[in-house]
Amino acid sequence: MKVTKKQNIILSNPETRDFLADAFYPETDGKLPLVIFVHGYKGYKDWGAWNLMAEKFAEAGFFFAKFNFSHNGTTVEDPENFADLEAFGNNNYSKELSDLSFVIDYFSKDPKVDDQKIILIGHSRGGGISIIKTCEDERINGLVTLASVDTLERFPLKENFEKWKENGVYYVENGRTKQQMPHYYQFFEDFKNDEHRFDVERSMEMAKAHVLIIHGTHDESVSVKNAEHLHILNPNSELYLIENANHTFGGKEPWDKDELPKYLNEVVHKSAEFIKLKI
């Protein structure tokens, strides 16, 4: 099946700033379910094997969109590097939810999309963001979480927190690039200003969409207990654990193979099957 790829589409969200998005879809006359992939912390749309994953979803009969959050540290000119650490430091959950809303609005208007079938797939922190958006936007009727967090209240512990407040910034080293990634205190202030909205547990309990929770049992970044907790919060969800899979389901940056890693391929197959059955 021939897959059309439209990459690095510039989206201009007036609430944040310009960012890039991609669309992968099969050549067909019918309207397609819209699947939107939401990357996580220190992630971006072209990381690792995400492009191969996008192709697989398109081949399975979906209009698959992925995007860079406007303040994830990448830029329109340089989408595959953290070229703007100032933007990264000024990111927050409000901006990410605004960007996700903009992406849903933009792609749901595409003539190839069936706007009655909108599915979010969120990885890691993007899972938490996707859970909140699914709760507050009734257009979304499917949600797949991949190695998702069960809370967005993930801040430094007491001693470091006080230093963060005092200095206005704390840094986290990017293990791959060795960059010192800034986090300005506004990130916490934004969370506190809208704490009820950012409550992942409440959102998961209230989500009316069909939910599939996928997690690897060897996730080194987000414990599999997060997945089990999300499933308890929403008993109508389906919990699917992949034995021995890590946080990125075998993917890494760079990914120079022509095939998906085994566990990520399983993710695509399970997700596509779930969406076709439920939505």
pLDDT tens digits, 151-184: 999 999 999 999 999 999 999 999 999 999 999 9
Residue 52's pLDDT band (boundaries 50, 70, 90)? very high
Position 173 in a domain: no
Q: How many CB atoms lie within 10 A of CB 250?
A: 21
pLDDT at 63: 98
| 215 part of a folded domain | yes
Cα 213 from Cα 124, distance rounded (Å): 11
Q: How many separate domains does the chain show? A: 1
Which pLDDT value is given to residue 105?
Answer: 98
Helix (H, G, I), strand (E, B) or coil at 43: coil
Query: In a 10 Å sphere around its CB, with 0-12 CB exposed, 13-18 middle and 19+ buried, how is residue 1 labelled?
Result: exposed
Band of the pLDDT at 1, cuts 50, 70, 90? confident
Residue 6 has pLDDT above 90, yes or no: yes
Residue 261 inside a domain? The answer is: yes
pLDDT digits (tens, 9 = 90+) for 216-270: 999 999 999 999 999 999 999 999 999 999 999 999 999 999 999 999 999 999 9
How many CB atoms within 10 Å of residue 142? 22
Q: Which residue has the tokens 């507050």?
A: 136
Does any domain span residue 273? yes
Determine, yes or no, domain membership for 175: no
Confirm if 99 and 69 have CB atoms less than 8 A apart: yes
For residue 63, the one-letter residue type is F
Residue 28 lies inside a defined structural domain of this protein: yes
Q: What is the pLDDT of residue 256?
A: 96
Q: How many CA atoms lie within 13 A of 101 on its CB side?
A: 16
Amino acid at 155: F
The whole-angstrom separation of Cα 24 and Cα 62 is 8
Q: Which helix (H) or strand (E) holds 11?
A: strand 3-12
- pLDDT for 75-120, tens place per residue? 999 999 999 999 999 999 999 999 999 999 999 999 999 999 999 9
Q: What is the pLDDT of residue 102?
A: 99
CA angle 62, 67, 68 (to 5 degrees): 165
Say which residue the tokens 């700033």 belong to: 17
List CB contacts of 37: < 8 A, sequence separation 6 or more.
45, 50, 53, 54, 64, 65, 66, 67, 121, 122, 123, 126
The answer to whether residue 166 is domain-embedded is no
pLDDT of residue 197: 98
Sole residue written with tokens 């939910």: 211
CATH number at residue 121: 3.40.50.1820
Mean of all residue pLDDT scores within the chain: 98
Range of the domain at 60: 3-155+195-278
Q: Are 117 and 279 in contact (CB under 8 A)?
A: yes
Report the half-sphere exposure of 142 (CA within 13 A, side-chain side). 23
Residue 183 lies in a domain: no
